[in-house]
Amino acid sequence: MTGKTHASCGALTGALTTQYFHTDLFTSVTILVLSTLASLLPDICHTQSKIGRRFRVLSFVIRLLFGHRTFTHSLAFIIIIGFLLYLIQTPMYYMVAIVIGIASHVILDILTPKGVKLFYPLPLNVVSPLHFKTGGLVDLSLATAFSFGTVYTLFQPFFNEFMLQWLN
């Protein structure tokens, strides 16, 4: 999937997290930013990704050590990040936003023909039986749907009020 698709899915997971935890405005904005950034984090192993271009040296080193779509796309990576966030006593809503943002990236990459090494360091490659080309029509459609879902989730009370007034 493209960076836009990952980011839009991360924003949606962040929006859903704000609704679940009923956060205030500042916390909600922070959650959205953290979740969106976290959804891009696994591609730090790819020097041409959105995050890889920002941190070229780190991206290059991670790619040399692990390769693309291996450690940073694994359950081990998600668990380690979650554990580190727990150790530094991150508030639960931030921890959930970050972990789910990363997990959303991994799930979306499972839907591509290349798949991911979900159980790294085991060499097993996990690919969905139904997979889609990166940058294709389905990828673009998902990014659009996630973006609409984010807007709807964030502004759901306003949409509901509008619909009630419109129907009456």
Q: Would you write out the chain's pLDDT as a tens digit for each of its 168 residues? A: 899 999 999 999 999 999 999 999 999 999 999 999 999 999 999 988 889 899 999 999 999 999 889 999 999 999 999 999 999 999 999 999 999 999 999 999 999 999 999 999 999 999 999 988 888 899 999 999 999 999 999 998 888 888 888 887
Answer whether 66's CB lies under 8 Å from 45's CB: yes
pLDDT at site 60: 93
pLDDT at site 27: 97
Structure tokens at 23: 């956060």
pTM of the model: 0.90
Residue 116, strand partner residues = 126
DSSP 42: G
Q: CA dist 129 to 13, 111, 113, 156, Å?
A: 24, 8, 9, 34
User: 101 is in which domain, residue-wise?
Assistant: 1-165
Q: Is the dihedral of CA 118, 58, 14, 86 positive or negative?
A: positive
Number of domains in the chain: 1
pLDDT at site 135: 86
pLDDT at site 159: 85
